[in-house]
Amino acid sequence: MSALRLNPAVDVLAHRRRIAERGRAHIAEFLEPGSARRLLAGLELQPRWNLVATLHGRHVDMDAAGMDRQGAAEKAAFLAAVHQPAREGAFQYLYGSIPIYDIHHKGARDRPLLNEIFEFLNSASVIEFVRTLTGATDIGFADAQATRYSAGHFLTAHDDGIEGKDRRAAYVLNLTQDWRADWGGLLLFIGADGHVEEAFTPKFNALNIFLVPQLHAVSIIAPFAPRPRYAVTGWFRAGRDPGLSAP
């Protein structure tokens, strides 16, 4: 059982009204303060991160530490390949990731914090909170990944609507302290006219949650940002977790 705890002071009904009006909410102080601090400390100490992107139309997972060790020419060629589809308007992303959902379902026990995060997000208290918040009473489970956005990392506009995934709400649990908006990493909500309707700064221990589908992006991290932007992200989805074995 996870030792992580929701903050009992959060007024779910007030945020539910916000979801009903705008389709999204920024929930400050989502976790008990000690839980949030422990999560950040644990993510900062994680030994293995992937670097994820789309290359030649396919999702790729690369060893982040190995990519850091590449020479300047190799890094430049890689970034050129990543930037080209984004320049042309295709969906693209570049950031550090740990696939919490996959690690949990593979039964790995050498990274206990990741399993604890998954168990917390799928606990009865969190699932019921999100059902009440969103009005989506068919939510049955959450998937999750840890993310680490460093300088130059980004996520271009998309709406998360993928047939068969049954995504009811997307979430970002922000875990970086003392973040400034001009460092980038903002969650942007984009209207039909192309203007940014609203933007959420990744405030420490805030849950940003929004109904799917909804056009959004994460603004690029500035080269002068002094630290990475850490978060746990994913979707609350309807039905039974397909990663569970059949009874």
Task: Please give the domain boundaries of the chain with CATH numbers for all domains.
Answer: 12-49+100-238 (2.60.120.620)
Q: What tens digit of pLDDT does each residue of 9-54 get?
A: 999 999 999 999 999 999 999 999 999 999 999 999 999 999 999 9
Which pLDDT value is given to residue 118? 98
Q: How far apart are CA 37 and CA 205, in angstroms?
A: 8
Q: Which residues contact 33 (CB under 8 A, 6 or more apart)?
A: 7, 205
Largest Cα–Cα distance of the chain, in whole Å? 53
Phi-psi category of residue 21: left, alpha or beta, with phi > 0 → left and psi -120 to 50 → alpha: alpha
Helix (H) / strand (E) containing 247:
none
CA distance from start to end of the chain: 21
Which pLDDT value is given to residue 245? 67
Q: What tens digit of pLDDT does each residue of 150-195 get?
A: 999 999 999 999 999 999 999 999 999 999 999 999 999 999 999 9
The answer to whether residue 246 scores a pLDDT higher than 50 is no
Which pLDDT value is given to residue 227? 97
Which pLDDT value is given to residue 47? 94
The rounded mean pLDDT for the chain is 96
Contacts 24+ apart (CB under 8 A), 59-62: 61/97, 61/99
Residue spans of beta strands (DSSP E) within the chain: 24-27, 50-55, 58-63, 93-98, 139-142, 145-149, 154-158, 167-174, 187-190, 196-200, 207-211, 216-218, 229-238
**140 φ/ψ angles, rounded to the nearest 5 degrees:** -120, -20
Q: How far apart are CA 176 and CA 32, in angstroms?
A: 15
DSSP-derived letter for residue 219 is P
**155 φ/ψ angles, rounded to the nearest 5 degrees:** -145, 115
Which amino acid, 18? R
The answer to whether residue 103 scores a pLDDT higher than 70 is yes
Q: Which residues pair with 238 in a beta bridge?
A: 139
The answer to whether residue 1 scores a pLDDT higher than 80 is no
User: How many helices and strands, by DSSP H and E, does the chain display?
Assistant: 7, 13
Which amino acid, 138? D
The answer to whether residue 59 scores a pLDDT higher than 70 is yes
What's the pTM? 0.96
The answer to whether residue 247 scores a pLDDT higher than 70 is no
The answer to whether residue 223 scores a pLDDT higher than 50 is yes
